[in-house]
């Protein structure tokens, strides 16, 4: 896939299902015509693609695209979601991939897959890896499967919206993981302080003093290394903790006050800006389905 920004992609969902595969099930050596996300709810599966073998356990998923042979198998009884999609297609109408899947021999294994990249200002190019561990996917996938199966009016457009939500969630967490894995030597004391006390009303001068810089130079340096201003960074840290608190049924007004937001309205605005959902919507989507 050519490098695009998130605003440029127009995904179409071709297939969405939730199934259980008995131990030893395999889908053969395949080449699919579109792209696939395979998410394991419970059990244990394996993917062989290129020169690599990936173990996929509960809460993990794999991504692979077209024109690359792969071998997917269920090691244990495996409960899983499968989604086939196009990154960019003007029509939202699903085109089932089944008739276009190729089944070459095992000799076709070994070709390295192409992992797409998205340009996400100000973070730069972010590569979508083959194996992912992304929190919050299961509720969205559950809704997607329901929309696909029921085919109610507007379902294809809803599928596109849900796929955009998944991709946004994936790349946001990839950005977050990449940021936290870096060593920001010159501003590390400020980063650590904001991560440990995100609810504090940090002044730039206070953060700059921790690192031994003038506030103006510190703010410039922070933006160069993180891609965000200190104020926006600490808001992001607050939202991370707010998501966990919401799923633990903590009241919205308590979360807002504890994390240093000036009002519930401001908290809700920032939460939706970063997650695409209001706090109430996020709490509802994050709940496990009723049985």
**Of residues 141 and 192, which shows the higher confidence score?**
141
Residue 126 predicted with pLDDT over 50:
yes
- In CATH terms, the fold of domain 12-179 is Jelly Rolls (2.60.120)
CATH for 183-286? 1.10.10.60
At 244 the pLDDT is 87
> Once rounded to an integer, what is the mean pLDDT over residues 164-192?
80
Domain ranges for the chain: 12-179, 183-286
**Of residues 219 and 67, which shows the higher confidence score?**
219
Burial class of residue 161 in the structure, from the number of CB atoms within 10 Å of its CB (0-12 exposed, 13-18 middle, 19+ buried): middle
With cut-offs at 50, 70 and 90, classify the pLDDT of residue 5. Answer: confident
At 1 the pLDDT is 53
The SS3 assignment for 33 reads coil
Question: In angstroms, rounded to a whole number, what is the distance separating the alpha carbons of residues 183 and 139?
Answer: 33
At 289 the pLDDT is 45
pTM of the model: 0.64
Burial class of residue 195 in the structure, from the number of CB atoms within 10 Å of its CB (0-12 exposed, 13-18 middle, 19+ buried): middle
Question: In angstroms, rounded to a whole number, what is the distance separating the alpha carbons of residues 279 and 256?
Answer: 10
């Amino acid at each position: 896939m050519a490098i695009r920004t998130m605003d440029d992609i127009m995904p179409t969902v071709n297939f969405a299902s939730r199934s259980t595969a008995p131990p030893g099930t395999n889908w053969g050596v395949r080449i699919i015509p579109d792209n696939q996300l395979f998410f394991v709810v419970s059990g244990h599966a394996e993917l062989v693609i290129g020169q690599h073998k990936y173990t996929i356990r509960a809460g993990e998923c794999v991504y692979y695209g077209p024109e690359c042979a792969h071998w997917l198998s269920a090691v244990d009884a495996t409960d899983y979601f499968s989604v086939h999609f196009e990154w960019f297609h003007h029509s939202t109408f699903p085109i089932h991939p089944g008739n276009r899947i190729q089944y070459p021999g095992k000799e076709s294994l070994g070709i390295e897959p192409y992992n797409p990249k998205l340009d996400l200002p100000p973070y730069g190019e972010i590569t979508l890896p083959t194996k992912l561990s992304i929190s919050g996917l299961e509720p969205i996938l559950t809704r997607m499967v329901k929309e696909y199966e029921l085919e109610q009016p507007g379902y294809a457009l809803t599928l596109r919206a849900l796929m955009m939500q998944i991709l946004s969630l994936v790349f946001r967490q990839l950005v977050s993981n990449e940021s936290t894995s870096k060593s920001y030597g010159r501003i590390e004391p400020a980063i650590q302080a904001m991560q440990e006390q995100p609810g504090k009303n940090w002044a730039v001068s206070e953060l700059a003093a921790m690192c031994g810089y003038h506030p103006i130079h510190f703010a410039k340096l922070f933006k160069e290394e993180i891609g965000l201003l200190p104020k926006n960074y600490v808001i992001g840290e607050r939202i991370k903790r707010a998501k966990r608190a919401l799923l633990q049924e903590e009241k919205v007004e308590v979360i807002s006050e504890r994390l240093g937001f000036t009002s519930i309205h401001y908290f809700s605005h920032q939460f939706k800006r970063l997650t695409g959902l209001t706090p109430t919507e996020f709490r509802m989507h994050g709940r496990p389905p009723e049985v």
